[in-house]
Amino acid sequence: MDASTATVVAETLLSIEAVTLSPDKPFTWSSGLKSPIYCDNRLLLSYPEERKVVYEALAESIRSLNPDVIAGTATAGIPHAAWTAELLGLPMAYVRSSSKGHGKQNKIEGKIDPGSKVVIIEDLISTGGSAFQAAQAAEEAGAEIVGIAAIFTYELEASQKIIAEKPYPVTSLTTFSKLAKIAEKKGEITASQLDSLKQWQQSPETWNPAGERQA
Ligand SMILES: O=P(O)(O)OC[C@H]1O[C@H](OP(=O)(O)OP(=O)(O)O)[C@H](O)[C@@H]1O
Ligand SMILES: O=C(O)c1cc(=O)[nH]c(=O)[nH]1
């Protein structure tokens, strides 16, 4: 992503207070990892001007991939995919984390035809598990994944390894390092908080929250 988009999107997320720090009472992520930071991009839904900035950037970031369908990850990726698809005038679908237990038992809702070129839209990439399982489900339905696009990535080693193996581009509008640097510059976090966040980000699996003993 170009530097100005990464800056604008990071500033946008900070401006709507999408980012919360809680080093003493860590968040538990969907992967089970403990984290001193949580980025809630779902809050974009409530801010029409800010979401326009982000969805226009998402649309521009994938336009050249010439997708046939924009597919969101359930649940947080769904509205982002919907608005991006709207801007590009393209069909939209979404991928559940597991198949429905009733009705048509679908994992994919909306149409993804075999042979269609699909971009997966993800809210954010932590380990990448959610985005890649959605991509796999679309591939199993016969789609060709031409890219995954997220609003934000933590740039964790685990996700970077999987991304490097993929034949398609996996991009994020902004990153943990960009956002943390801007937050420090704006005085929203201290230099020592920035250092702690960087330490956590290097090794979230072994991170030991202040005052909390590991079993
Ligand atoms: O990269 P990963 O390790 O997979 O983590 C990121 C995923 O986790 C969050 O979803 P969550 O499970 O909280 O569900 P939601 O989308 O229904 O809010 C987030 O919205 C991403 O989809
Ligand atoms: O990995 C997650 O579950 C996760 C992290 C985060 O910062 N925000 C979020 O919505 N989910």
Radius of gyration of the chain (CA): 17
Question: What is the per-residue pLDDT across 66-100, written as a single tens digit (0 to 9) for each?
Answer: 999 999 999 999 999 999 999 999 999 999 999 99
128 is in an annotated binding site: yes
Residue 152 alpha carbon to ligand 1 centre in Å = 12
pLDDT in tens, 159-192: 999 999 999 999 999 999 999 999 999 999 999 9
Domain extents in the chain: 3-202
For tokens 């997320």, the residue is 13
Residues with a CB atom less than 6 Å from ligand 2: 29-31, 38-40, 124, 126
- Separation CA 169–CA 131 (nearest Å): 12
The answer to whether domain 3-202 has CATH 3.30.465.10 is no
| DSSP assignment letter at 29 | P
51 a known binding residue?
A: no
CA gap 77, 68 in Å, rounded: 18
Nearest-angstrom CA–CA distance, 122 and 173: 11
In the chain, the DSSP E strands lie at: 19-21, 27-28, 34-35, 37-39, 69-73, 92-95, 108-109, 117-125, 144-153, 170-175
| Confidence (pTM) | 0.95
Going by the DSSP 8-state scheme, the letter that residue 1 receives in this structure is: -
Tokens representing residue 186 in the block = 């704006």
80 annotated as a binding-site residue? no
